Amino acid sequence: MQEEISLREIMLTIWGGKWIVVISTITAAILAGVISFYILSPTYEAQTTIRIGNGSVSDEQGNNLYALAESLKTDVAMKRVIDKLNLDNEDYSINSIRNSINVEIVKDTSVMKLKVTGQDPSAITNIANIMAFELGARIEISDRSQWIVDSKKRIGELDNLIAISKQAIEEANKQLDQNPEKLITKQALAEEPYLQSVLKESSSISNIALGAVQLETETINPVFSILKETIAVTAIDLVRMVSEKQNLQAEILTNESKINELEQQIVKEKLRAITSERLLDGFNAVFISPAIEPIVPIGPKKVQNIALAAIVGFILSLIAVFLRSYLKGSDVVRTNTLVV
């Protein structure tokens, strides 16, 4: 026969172990309070904001921002932060700094929030500001690098178009040599009865002499005109394309120089909170709002820890009470069985 446990039996069991429950709950809460107030060190959070351009971003740009954000967490980047700030290697390792950094991109915007947590407010503030500048610099480097790639592709297209234009001009000039500017047509006077009669009346030339007279007509060669116009238009396009190519080449050199400058800044510049606010002059302006050294810690959450510890202590004590009651019941049944 299967036994059923009534609510009354459950309540009696709990009441029988009430002191265990009370003492365990209070003990857990006290231990959590002692640990939270006296053992755990306070944790602070420094936050800086990076905004790119007008704040809107496409899906592709969003993916690029995520990729750039992840590039901040490489071993090389972490080691660079440690060296720039002269951080103690015993307190700040590559992994510990990487785990303390969190980069969040606000949905449907190009606003990035970089947060750094730690126990030293000054150190995490400097880490946040250095990482914010590096992220802004990398965004500008990425923009300029992509522009250089596109420009070099455009230069390749211009080279092909310039070669085609030069070939077209050369071919048109050859055809000009074969086509005169003016066309001269000759016509016998005998083919124009009206002019023949006029000349006969006004002169004493014989009919035979008049028949031998020829008329010459000079007209503009349309082919020549078309070729000249084609050469002029092509030459104008050629000058424009050559000028565009030269401008692109000059701007490529400028951007490569700027990229080198930014890379040197990333490697060497030792930034602090007061100097990390700047407007980077890239294709998309990058605004960096520096982190301010935090005063109020974000952890440990003492009240929350005490409440959670009390709940855990209460649950564990209930389990202990029911387990003790079950074991006692088993002992009674075993004893009765032996007596019978």
- Please indicate, yes or no, if residue 38 is contained in any of the structural domains: yes
Q: What tens digit of pLDDT does each residue of 4-41 get?
A: 557 777 788 888 888 888 998 999 889 988 888 888 88
95 and 139 assigned to the same domain? yes
Q: What tens digit of pLDDT does each residue of 298-334 get?
A: 888 888 889 999 999 999 988 988 888 878 765 544 4
Q: What pLDDT, on a 0 to 100 scale, did the predictor assign at position 251? A: 94
- Please indicate, yes or no, if residue 331 is contained in any of the structural domains: no
Sign of CA dihedral 166, 172, 175, 177: negative
- Residues with pLDDT less than 50, the chain: 1-3, 271-277, 279, 332-340
113 and 200 assigned to the same domain? no
Q: What pLDDT, on a 0 to 100 scale, did the predictor assign at position 150? A: 94
Beta carbons of 127 and 97 less than 8 angstroms apart = yes
140 and 278 assigned to the same domain? yes
Q: What pLDDT, on a 0 to 100 scale, did the predictor assign at position 204? A: 56
Q: What pLDDT, on a 0 to 100 scale, did the predictor assign at position 277? A: 47
Closest to 78 (Cα-Cα) out of 138, 130, 140: 130
Domains: count for the chain: 2
Distance, CA of 271 to CA of 126 (rounded, Å):
7
Q: What pLDDT, on a 0 to 100 scale, did the predictor assign at position 254? A: 92
- Please indicate, yes or no, if residue 3 is contained in any of the structural domains: no
115 and 56 assigned to the same domain? yes
- Please indicate, yes or no, if residue 81 is contained in any of the structural domains: yes
- Please indicate, yes or no, if residue 68 is contained in any of the structural domains: yes
Q: What is the mean pLDDT of the chain?
A: 80
Q: What pLDDT, on a 0 to 100 scale, did the predictor assign at position 47? A: 92
- Please indicate, yes or no, if residue 138 is contained in any of the structural domains: yes
141 and 280 assigned to the same domain? yes
Which CATH number belongs to the domain containing residue 72 in this structure?
Answer: 3.30.1890
- Please indicate, yes or no, if residue 224 is contained in any of the structural domains: yes
Beta carbons of 53 and 285 less than 8 angstroms apart = yes
- Please indicate, yes or no, if residue 330 is contained in any of the structural domains: no
* Residue-number span of the structural domain to which 170 is assigned: 152-257
15 and 81 assigned to the same domain? yes
Domain boundary among 222, 257, 292: 257
Q: What pLDDT, on a 0 to 100 scale, did the predictor assign at position 100? A: 92
31 and 138 assigned to the same domain? yes
Q: What pLDDT, on a 0 to 100 scale, did the predictor assign at position 176? A: 84
Distance, CA of 133 to CA of 245 (rounded, Å):
33
pTM score = 0.63
Q: What pLDDT, on a 0 to 100 scale, did the predictor assign at position 273? A: 43
137 and 209 assigned to the same domain? no
Which parts of 155-307 are beta strand (E)? 182-188, 214-220, 279-280, 286-289
20 and 130 assigned to the same domain? yes
209 and 300 assigned to the same domain? no
280 and 249 assigned to the same domain? no
Query: Which residue has tokens 């503030």?
Result: 125
Buried b (16+ CB within 10 A) or exposed e, 66-86: eebbeebeeeebbebbbebbe
29 and 132 assigned to the same domain? yes
